Structure 1
């Protein structure tokens, strides 16, 4: 079964709402009622226009509820979106937790679960590459994130 594919605005709506720490059912109910008051003081980006993003989800038909319940992947993700995802999902920030070299992010430390989670979200377009020897257990590994290049014949 394939994952739900979300647009950037809808995915970041979900990512931001999830930073509240509230259960999935509470987040879903807030979206359905278009009342984000219970989450506003808890989310990372309080100034996000939640209602506009919900309207975007409806307009383009993104399956946001299924994405919250079962997971998703990005349809497309640019480098700034990737950095924003790292902030929302893993609380990692540029120049504090990793460096940017062109369209590559490097010297980012992630544990195996974070690597798998991130690769699952961005794997259509980006690759998480371990830069150090495999570590045992849940030890963090130094990784880089690089854009996957596709041959024009592979479209």
Structure 2
């Protein structure tokens, strides 16, 4: 079962991963309540909320499996694409308001994004390439029925 976490919790996890911390180490520091080690490894956020959460079991599950972000904003999508996959707006894909176009994903990354983003975001215009896919992520309010 896919667990749901907040955008903030996703930022905290993905910021550690993007800097190279593996899942086992993240879990160890959380279980040991070692905020100092987490914050020294990645000082872009205060990781206290990972330890002080009332949803520790959910966080642990999110570390080792796919998760869904409960509510995700335009900037949330943009930031997670960067943190989780190293993708930059304007360099790797095009961004216009609440439309992200021609995002290059591996097949596994596409599956992760499909699971991760909330239902108000839709993945559309999937084009299969030799090494993966190009896809658009569009806010549901911007989809025009033809």
Q: Give the shorter-chain TM-score range.
A: 0.7 to 0.9
> How far off its partner does 1:110 sit?
1.4
Aligned to 1:147: 139
Query: Normalised by the size of structure 2, how large is the TM-score?
Result: 0.81
Alignment of 1:83-94 (within 5 A): 83-94=78-89
> How far off its partner does 1:77 sit?
0.4
> How far off its partner does 1:33 sit?
2.5
Name structure 1 gaps, 5 residues minimum. Answer: 150-155
Structure with the higher fraction of residues in strand conformation: 2
Figure out how many residues of one structure are paired with residues of the other and give that number. Answer: 140
Alignment of 1:1-155 (within 5 A): 2-38=1-37, 43=42, 46-55=43-52, 57-58=53-54, 61=55, 63-132=58-127, 134-136=128-130, 139-149=131-141
Name structure 2 gaps, 5 residues minimum. Answer: 142-146
Contact 2:39 2:45 (C-alpha < 8 Å) held by counterparts: no
Contact 1:10 1:54 (C-alpha < 8 Å) held by counterparts: no
- Matches of 1:97 and 1:135 in 2, distance apart? 15
Query: Normalised by the size of structure 1, how large is the TM-score?
Result: 0.77
- Matches of 1:89 and 1:118 in 2, distance apart? 10
- Matches of 2:45 and 2:70 in 1, distance apart? 21
- Pairwise CA RMSD of aligned residues? 2.3
